[in-house]
């Protein structure tokens, strides 16, 4: 059996991270068997290297190795691509065609992005895994195949299963052995090593001196998050190699090639966003309090008007209607007695020259509350791009109430 270092050199795998080494060691150990393997990891971590290692170290190495990108094949034709079809089985099928499982008989098929397979195709694949049988599209004849399947995905398979997008039984058949490749941000010690390898390759390709990084630039590179992983690092190395005239790259120069999205450093924009979210929640709380104050002021004004009319029964009826409007529920006559009592107290004190009911409603305070309400409505409409339904939901009021306030305030 070949050593770990020999396998790395043979398949051009760069890095000494122990998680990476563990993944390669598992691939070496499982290669002589026919066990199905599922390779997991983020996009761009180099998952395609593992099935190559498994195939070339297996007894199938002299047979065919076919890599299939399941996410790149349209749903309507993927069954035909994988299992073949008979002449006339669908529009455009002018001749019979052998699928990958027939062509690769005795060899290995690598199903990349297996999580993108349609559910109907997953059923067919499960049958191949269970007993090595498949049926061509448009045929009724069962065929046998002896294929080793290695699959890969960057999806969270448990989440896909919970959402009904991937069959649980198929997942367990594929993942007899699961090999996970770590993201580049967890292989900090390998980042500069990979950059130097890519820079050297591009120097030879474009016939120019290789670019090098200053010490500060190396630290910046190692602190970057690399959401695109090795593929992103390779693209950055190629761009710098072609664009930069100065072959020694400083940290300031390097930062121009690193999108802010992948940085591990604190972000002023993100902090600003969290403050904005906090302010938004606080404004909504203020809005609720201001609405309550406005309702109380409306009740006071109504009481004054009815008090001047002198009808206690009318006070009871109108108070009941107002309470129903505020709380949107039925209110008994006993619950309006407090409002009537307010009228009687006001009538008593009205006889005093010192009493001015209008003063109980602070005009400046009421105006300030009104201005704040207008401001909150405007901000909510701006945040929701003028969509009143969303704005009403954010403010905690009905659409009808929002329409009324917009019309009232002439917004």
3-class DSSP state for residue 255?
Answer: helix
Using CA atoms, how far apart are residues 172 and 129, in angstroms rounded to an integer? Answer: 11
Q: Are residues 42 and 175 in the same domain?
A: yes
| Share above pLDDT 90 across residues of the chain, in percent, rounded to a whole number | 59
Using CA atoms, how far apart are residues 342 and 360, in angstroms rounded to an integer? Answer: 13
> How many domains in the chain?
3
Q: Are residues 37 and 143 in the same domain?
A: yes
Say what the pLDDT of residue 276 is: 47
Residue 107's CB: how many other CB atoms inside 10 A? 20
DSSP 69-114: EGGGS-TTTHHHHHH-B-TTSSTT--S-B--HHHHTTTSEEEEETG
Q: Are residues 174 and 207 in the same domain?
A: no
Average pLDDT of 23-48? 96
Q: Are residues 157 and 216 in the same domain?
A: no
For the cut 70, the answer to whether the pLDDT of residue 283 exceeds it is no
Q: Per mean pLDDT, which range of 13-27, 84-98, 335-349, 373-387 is the poorest?
A: 335-349
Bridge partners (DSSP) listed for residue 97:
85
Mean pLDDT of the chain: 83
Say what the pLDDT of residue 395 is: 79
Say what the pLDDT of residue 308 is: 65
3-class DSSP state for residue 212?
Answer: strand
Q: Which domain holds residue 257?
A: 190-262
Average pLDDT of 278-301? 66
Q: Are residues 165 and 85 in the same domain?
A: yes
Say what the pLDDT of residue 342 is: 47
- Alpha-helix runs per DSSP H in 337-362: 337-350
- Domain with residue 111: its CATH number is 3.40.50.300
| Share above pLDDT 70 across residues of the chain, in percent, rounded to a whole number | 75
Q: Which tens digits make up the pLDDT trace of 67-83?
A: 999 999 998 899 999 99
Q: Are residues 240 and 377 in the same domain?
A: no
Using CA atoms, how far apart are residues 82 and 190, in angstroms rounded to an integer? Answer: 37
Q: Are residues 221 and 280 in the same domain?
A: no
Tally of residues, the chain = 411
Q: Which residue has the higher pLDDT, 17 or 293?
A: 17
Using CA atoms, how far apart are residues 44 and 26, in angstroms rounded to an integer? Answer: 20
- Alpha-helix runs per DSSP H in 207-267: 215-223, 229-243, 251-255
CB 65 within 8 A of CB 107: yes
Which residues, at least 6 apart from 197, have a Cβ–Cβ distance to it below 8 Å? 14
- Domain with residue 211: its CATH number is 1.10.8.60
Q: Are residues 170 and 217 in the same domain?
A: no
Out of 262, 284, 299, a domain closes at 262
Out of 202, 236, 262, a domain closes at 262
pLDDT band for position 313 (cuts 50, 70, 90):
low
Say what the pLDDT of residue 129 is: 95
Backbone CA torsion sign across 218, 223, 224, 230 = positive
Q: Which tens digits make up the pLDDT trace of 330-386?
A: 444 544 555 555 445 455 444 444 444 444 444 454 556 677 778 888 888 888 888
Q: Which tens digits make up the pLDDT trace of 149-186?
A: 999 999 999 999 999 999 999 999 999 999 999 999 99
Say what the pLDDT of residue 92 is: 82
Say what the pLDDT of residue 407 is: 79
Q: Are residues 257 and 291 in the same domain?
A: no
Q: Are residues 144 and 285 in the same domain?
A: no
Say what the pLDDT of residue 281 is: 58
Bridge partners (DSSP) listed for residue 180:
40
Residue with tokens 């002449």: 87
Q: Are residues 202 and 296 in the same domain?
A: no
Q: Which tens digits make up the pLDDT trace of 189-242?
A: 999 999 999 999 999 999 999 999 999 999 999 999 999 999 999 999 999 999
Task: Based on DSSP, count helices (H) and strands (E) in the chain, helices before strands.
Answer: 18, 9
Out of 134, 163, 182, a domain closes at 182
Q: Which tens digits make up the pLDDT trace of 237-263?
A: 999 999 999 999 999 999 999 987 655
Residue 233's CB: how many other CB atoms inside 10 A? 22
Q: Are residues 76 and 147 in the same domain?
A: yes
């Amino acid at each position: 059996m070949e050593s770990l270092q020999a396998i790395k050199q043979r398949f051009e795998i760069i890095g000494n991270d122990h998680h990476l080494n563990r993944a390669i060691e598992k691939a070496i150990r499982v290669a002589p068997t026919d066990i199905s393997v599922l390779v997991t990891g983020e996009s761009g971590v180099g998952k395609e290297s593992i099935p190559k290692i498994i195939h070339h170290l297996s007894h199938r190495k002299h047979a065919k190795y076919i890599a299939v990108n399941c996410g790149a094949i349209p749903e309507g034709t993927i069954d035909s691509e994988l299992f073949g079809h008979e002449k006339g089985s669908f529009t455009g099928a002018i001749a019979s065609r052998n699928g990958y499982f027939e062509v690769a008989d005795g060899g290995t098929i690598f199903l990349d992005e297996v999580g993108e397979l349609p559910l109907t195709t997953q059923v067919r694949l499960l049958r191949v895994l269970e007993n090595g049988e498949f049926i061509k599209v448009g045929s009724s004849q069962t065929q046998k195949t002896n294929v080793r399947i290695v699959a890969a995905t960057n999806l969270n398979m448990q989440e896909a299963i919970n959402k009904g997008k991937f069959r649980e039984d198929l997942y367990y058949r594929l993942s007899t052995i699961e090999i996970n490749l770590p993201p580049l941000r967890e292989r900090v010690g390998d980042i500069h090593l990979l950059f130097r390898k890519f820079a050297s390759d591009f120097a030879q390709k474009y016939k120019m001196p290789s670019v090098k990084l200053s010490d500060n630039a190396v630290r910046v590179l190692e602190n970057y998050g690399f959401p695109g992983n090795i593929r992103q690092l390779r693209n950055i190395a190629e761009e710098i190699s072609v664009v930069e005239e100065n072959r020694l790259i400083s940290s300031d120069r390097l930062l121009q090639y690193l999108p802010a999205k992948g940085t591990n450093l604190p972000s002023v924009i993100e902090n600003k966003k969290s403050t904005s979210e906090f302010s938004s929640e606080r404004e909504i709380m203020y809005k609720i309090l201001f609405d309550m104050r406005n309702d109380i002021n409306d009740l006071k004004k109504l009481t004054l008007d009815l008090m001047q009319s002198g009808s206690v029964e009318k006070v009871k009826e109108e108070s009941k209607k107002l309470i129903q409007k505020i709380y949107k529920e039925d209110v008994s006559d006993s619950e309006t007695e407090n409002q009537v009592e307010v009228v009687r107290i006001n009538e008593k004190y009205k006889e005093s020259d010192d009493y001015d009911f209008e003063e109980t409603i602070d005009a400046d305070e009421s105006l300030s509350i009104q201005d704040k309400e207008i401001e909150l409505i405007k901000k909510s409409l701006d945040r929701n791009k003028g969509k009143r339904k969303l704005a009403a939901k954010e403010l905690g009021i009905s659409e009808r109430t929002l329409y009324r306030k917009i019309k009232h305030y002439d917004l």
